């Protein structure tokens, strides 16, 4: 039987903390080995291939004319022509994230912005933003599928990727987020919602009632954390008595601060 040829995936890390690739490595259903053995041919990732040096970046030149998906985590530094973020060297020349995102983004069949920094700038573009970071969408003149979160849950990326591979682009909302993951307010899915409706609010961290008055951003954040949960589906912030900080909402972190309020009057 002829072996099925897997579609190429390029995962480019721009300006950020590499939190999204770490999150992906912690995925469990499916896990990372399943991704690279049965879903896609992972051609490039900055962190996972750093030991290969310039040779790793050369693989991008060979993949550019193939059928590939581009996933980008991290914002794009634009100051000084992007020289604030060098993602590799090729033929002795430094390659900026700005150049790499534009070069690959123009050729990819689909572009996925993974995490808050890639989707809208996130922490990397937070004030005062000395490297003038912007979203992936800001430097590309094409549709970008956006998966906000700090970090992005493995399921949000793998589910989106699987849909593209099997059926094409998933249904997106008006901000180009997959509706299957971002279609509901966290507030509406929260198991503590009944306390909000009855006006029973937490007075301190550790209280098992609604944490809205302590700064929970659940009422403005569209994501499925309460039903999906994290770290192998065992927990999520509110269940651990910590307010949601709205990391999956556009504008994080600046527009979500302060994350915790101690003035509950």
Over range 174-187, report the average pLDDT: 98
Token pair for 45: 């990732």
Separation CA 132–CA 121 (nearest Å):
9
Give the strand pairing for 7-13 and 86-90.
unpaired
Same domain, 85 and 150: yes
C-alpha pair distances (Å), 61 with each of 2, 46, 54, 86:
27, 15, 12, 17
When pLDDT is cut at 50, 70 and 90, the band that residue 260 belongs to is confident
Same domain, 54 and 142: yes
Whether the CB-CB separation of 149 and 22 falls below 8 Å is answered with no
- State yes or no: pLDDT of 1 exceeds 80: no
Same domain, 176 and 229: no
The closest of 230, 238, 239, 259 to 247, measured between CA atoms, is 259
When pLDDT is cut at 50, 70 and 90, the band that residue 265 belongs to is low
Whether the CB-CB separation of 241 and 206 falls below 8 Å is answered with yes
Whether the CB-CB separation of 45 and 11 falls below 8 Å is answered with yes
Separation CA 75–CA 109 (nearest Å):
20
Same domain, 205 and 240: yes
Separation CA 136–CA 151 (nearest Å):
16
Which of 180, 213, 231 delimits the end of a domain? 180
Same domain, 21 and 152: yes
- State yes or no: pLDDT of 253 exceeds 50: yes
- State yes or no: pLDDT of 2 exceeds 60: no
| 3-class DSSP state of 39 | helix
Same domain, 116 and 246: no
User: 112 phi and psi, to 5 degrees?
Assistant: -120, 120
C-alpha pair distances (Å), 116 with each of 12, 39, 129, 252:
15, 24, 15, 7
Which of 126, 152, 180 delimits the end of a domain? 180
In a domain, 263, yes or no: no
Same domain, 175 and 191: no
Q: What percent of the chain has pLDDT over 70?
A: 98
For the stretch 194-227, pLDDT in tens is: 999 999 999 998 999 999 999 999 999 999 999 9
- State yes or no: pLDDT of 235 exceeds 60: yes
Same domain, 166 and 198: no
Same domain, 154 and 59: yes
Question: Residue 194 sits in a domain of what CATH number?
Answer: 4.10.480.10
In a domain, 27, yes or no: yes
For the stretch 88-137, pLDDT in tens is: 888 888 999 999 999 999 999 999 999 999 999 999 999 999 999 999 99
Give the strand pairing for 68-73 and 7-13.
parallel
pLDDT value at residue 59:
86
In a domain, 262, yes or no: no
User: 188 phi and psi, to 5 degrees?
Assistant: -75, -20
Contacts of 83 (CB under 8 A, 6+ apart): 77, 94, 96
The whole domain housing 164 covers 7-180
């Amino acid at each position: 039987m002829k072996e099925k040829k897997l579609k190429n995936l390029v995962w480019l890390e721009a300006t950020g903390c590499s939190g999204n690739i770490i999150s992906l490595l912690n995925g469990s259903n499916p896990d990372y080995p399943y991704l690279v053995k049965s879903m896609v041919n992972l051609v490039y990732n900055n962190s996972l291939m750093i030991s290969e040096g310039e040779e790793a970046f050369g693989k991008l030149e060979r993949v550019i004319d193939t059928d590939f998906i581009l996933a980008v985590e991290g914002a794009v530094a634009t100051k000084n022509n992007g020289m604030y973020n060098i993602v590799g060297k090729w033929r002795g020349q430094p390659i900026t994230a700005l150049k790499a995102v534009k070069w690959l983004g123009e050729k990819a069949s689909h572009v996925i912005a993974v995490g808050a920094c890639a989707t809208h700038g996130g922490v990397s573009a937070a004030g005062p933003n000395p490297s003038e970071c912007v979203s992936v969408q800001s430097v590309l003149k094409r549709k970008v599928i956006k998966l906000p979160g700090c970090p992005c849950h493995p399921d949000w990326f793998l589910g989106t990727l699987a849909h593209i591979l099997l059926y094409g682009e998933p249904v997106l909302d008006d901000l180009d987020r997959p509706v299957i993951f971002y279609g509901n307010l966290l507030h509406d899915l929260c198991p503590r919602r009944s306390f909000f409706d009855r006006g029973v609010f937490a007075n301190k961290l550790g209280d098992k009632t609604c944490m809205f008055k302590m700064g929970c951003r659940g009422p403005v954040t569209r994501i499925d954390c309460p039903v999906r949960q994290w770290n192998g589906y065992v927990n999520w912030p509110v269940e651990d008595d910590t307010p949601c900080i709205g990391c999956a909402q556009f504008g994080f972190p600046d527009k979500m601060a302060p994350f915790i309020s101690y003035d509950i009057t």
